[in-house]
A and B are shown apart, each in its own frame.
Chain A
Amino acid sequence: MALEQVRSETAGSIWKIVVAVDDLVQPGDVIMLLELMKMEIPIVATCAGRIAEIAVTESMAISANQLVATIERSDPQ
């Protein structure tokens, strides 16, 4: 099974994580919210699959391009 890395486009702090490991997601599903410039900006699933790992915790400060989650792909690439 191919693993897909989900990365944050920008720096910010993790506001809320809305999925758990083993949850099934579709492309575009919100997996967590990043707080930045007083906005809650969604970080979304980039493919369909199962959440294999969540690499951050709530209120953690992250940098641009940081790995935030890994998805085990269920769709053919």
Chain B
Amino acid sequence: MTWHDEVSEIERRRKRALGLGGEDRVRRQHDAGRLTVRERLAALLDKDSFVEIGALAGEGDDENFVPAGYVAGLGRIDGREVAVGGEDFTVRGGSERDGRTKVHLLVHMANDFKIPLVLLHDGAGGNIENTIRRGYMQIPTWLNAAGEVGLTATVPVVAGIMGSVAGGPASRAMLSHWSVMPKHSADFFIAGPPVVKRAVGLDITKRELGGSDVQVHVSGTVDNEGDDELDCFRQIREFLSYMPRNVWELPPYREPTDTPDRKEEGLLSIIPRNRRQPYDMRSLIRLVVDDGVMFELKPFYGKCVITCFARLNGHVVGVLANNPMFQGGALDGPGADKQVRFMELCDQFHIPIIYFVDVPGFMVGPDAERSGALRRGMRAFWMTYSITVPLLQVIVRRCYGVGSATTSRTDRMNLRIAWPSAEFGGIPIEGGVDAAFRRVIQEAPDPDAKRAEIEETITKLRSPFLTAEALGVEDVFDPRETRPTLIRLLETAQAVSAYDLGPKSRPGVRP
């Protein structure tokens, strides 16, 4: 006697699950410009690496079997294990059933195997029909909520927003380290148009309510956008290529294809001599990092700050930079929020940070005050002094005010490299002189001449060489030496990260 019959039954039942919600539903999914969950997993993961778990789950007899509305399992991305799954929109619109479901299994899998969790969301969560089936109303309960919150402290969590995502799945997507949605085929909101219509009486389309124009470009709720679903998968693979498997491992070193001692001539002329003229900070970053490759996070939100991953001589680095093209690089609320999240992400996964500084300070003016720029800016300051990962600073131009104090730590070795174009100060000369010498200027026979005279006196003190003589900045460097110098410092610092592995705690209350 063998178990042949039962084994063929397993095969038969597995095949049944491959049909998803039926041909009609699959066609409708494709007509909406979307892939099915199984097509998504095939496109995201290494070929034939997916081991499905829970394929037999579903309802109904053979004639009208409906698989569970979720596909989950273990897969590989670039040869590295991930717990991965997503709602099947072709089954009841990807809505959830009561109780423990496959997504809860995936959270435990990521936690117990200490591997990244990748969720491809395509659903709206609970279905009111469940209430009728159940026969009573339920207090909203998030099964294993503490486990999902805790997961963000230990393994990388990625959210792909693949379809119309609302309610529970949308909320879960926020418990991720990074999220991405396609430009034209996904919508993301707390609740969709029918609920909005009843609650606030507004007629609005899904796209107007929560397309990437809103969630990536305005609210910053979703980090990145892809040209289409395939581009989103490419970005997910790229994001994970900079991530360690978990907080007990160092980020993945990759054999470099660039030379460590490359001295880039372009760095000598990238900062215009005209102090009023901005330049392209992204080009500057590309000239320094390995092969000019950077992966930018949140490129369309908090634009005064640039946050990206890159490599230096094969080591993963988190690059922060002020963006002079956006309000002169002044740090505002959205930029500060973006910096806080990026610093925390790098710290959590032991990724050293390099900060290219060109900041005139916090953003000023009525918009800045009304949006809480100071509180949000000081949250960035708080985070700078709470992280333990190595932080290297290159001052390429302006470094003014408390806004600039969010870019380095004075309580550590604090090795700051300044370029000859660097200038520093507590308060900018323009405006600062008016504030401090108001009476002197007003009472002078020629106030404008007096102001110019005082400004000239102070301007003469602006040279970084004078500051370096006083060791007020640790050193002034030839910009072309930036890459070799950073690599030397980074490789020394990187060794220390190995002593600091594991989850990080953050005592205190953020401003």
Instruction: Give chain A's interface residues, CB within 8 Å of chain B.
Output: 9-12, 36-42, 64
Contact of A40 among B277, B367, B430 (CB under 8 A): B277
Say yes or no: is B252 at the interface (Cβ < 8 Å to chain A). no
Smallest Cβ-Cβ distance to B363: which chain A residue? A37
Say yes or no: is B370 at the interface (Cβ < 8 Å to chain A). no
A36 near B303 with CB under 8 A, answer: no
**CA A64 to CA B328, docked complex, whole Å:** 14
Shortest C-beta distance, A6 to chain B (Å), equals 15
Residues of A within 8 A of B459 (CB): none
Chain B 293-327: CB-based contact to A (< 8 A → 1; otherwise 0): 00000000001000000000000000000001111
Residues of B within 8 A of A10 (CB): 326-327
A39 near B303 with CB under 8 A, answer: no
7 A-B pairs with the lowest CB-CB distances in the bound complex, closest first: A37-B328, A39-B328, A10-B327, A40-B276, A37-B330, A37-B360, A39-B278
**CA A52 to CA B261, docked complex, whole Å:** 50
Contact of B303 among A9, A38, A40, A42 (CB under 8 A): A9
**CA A48 to CA B237, docked complex, whole Å:** 34
With A37-B360, A64-B367: A9-B326 Cβ-Cβ less than 8 Å: yes
A38 near B277 with CB under 8 A, answer: no
Most B C-beta atoms less than 10 A away, residue of A9, A10, A12: A10
Contact of A39 among B276, B363, B365, B367 (CB under 8 A): B276
Residues of B within 8 A of A38 (CB): 275-276, 328, 360, 428, 430
**CA A57 to CA B367, docked complex, whole Å:** 22
Residues of A within 8 A of B363 (CB): 37
B327 near A36 with CB under 8 A, answer: yes
**CA A64 to CA B326, docked complex, whole Å:** 11
Chain B stretch 332-360: residues in CB contact (< 8 A) with chain A? 360
Residues of B within 8 A of A39 (CB): 276-278, 324, 328
